[in-house]
Amino acid sequence: MITIGTWNVENFCRPLPAGSPPDPNKCAAKDQAAYEAKVEALAGVVSELAPDLLGVQEVGSQEALDDLVAKLPGTWHTAVSDHPDQRGIRVGFISRSPLLDVQQRVAFPSHLAPVQVEDVGAPISEMGRGGLAVRIEPTPGQSVHVAVCHLKSKLLTFPGNQHSTHDEGLRARFAAYALFRRGAEAVTMRALADDLLQGDGKNRDVIVLGDFNDDWKAATTQILYGPPGSQIGTGGFDHPDQGDAARLWNLAPRILEQGGFSRIFEGQHELIDHIMISHALLAKFQEVSTGNEKLPSVAEARPTASHDQPSDHSPVVAKFDL
Q: Rounded to two decimals, what is the model's pTM? A: 0.95
56-97 residue pLDDT tens: 999 999 999 999 999 999 999 999 999 999 999 999 999 999
Contact status, residue 144 vs residue 322, Cβ threshold 8 Å: yes
Nearest alpha carbon to residue 305 among 48, 11, 108, 93: 11
In which order are the strands placed within the sheet that holds 77-80?
77-80, 90-95, 53-59, 2-12, 316-320, 285-290
pLDDT tens digit sequence for 258-269: 999 999 988 999
Q: What is the pLDDT of residues 227-256, one digit of tens each?
A: 998 999 988 898 999 999 999 999 999 999
Nearest 5°: the CA angle 213, 215, 220 is 70
Sheet holding 297-298, edge to edge: 268-270, 263-265, 297-298
Q: How far apart are CA 246 and CA 193, in angstroms?
A: 9
More confident residue, 25 or 146: 146
Chosen CATH of 2-320 out of 3.30.1300.10, 3.60.10.10, 3.40.800.10, 3.30.750.210: 3.60.10.10
Per-residue pLDDT, averaged over 274-288, amounts to 97
Q: What is the spatial distance between Cα 223 and Cα 263, in angstroms, rounded to a whole number? A: 22
Among 191, 196, 244, 189, CA closest to 212: 189
**In DSSP terms, which residues pair with 144 in a beta bridge?**
136, 205
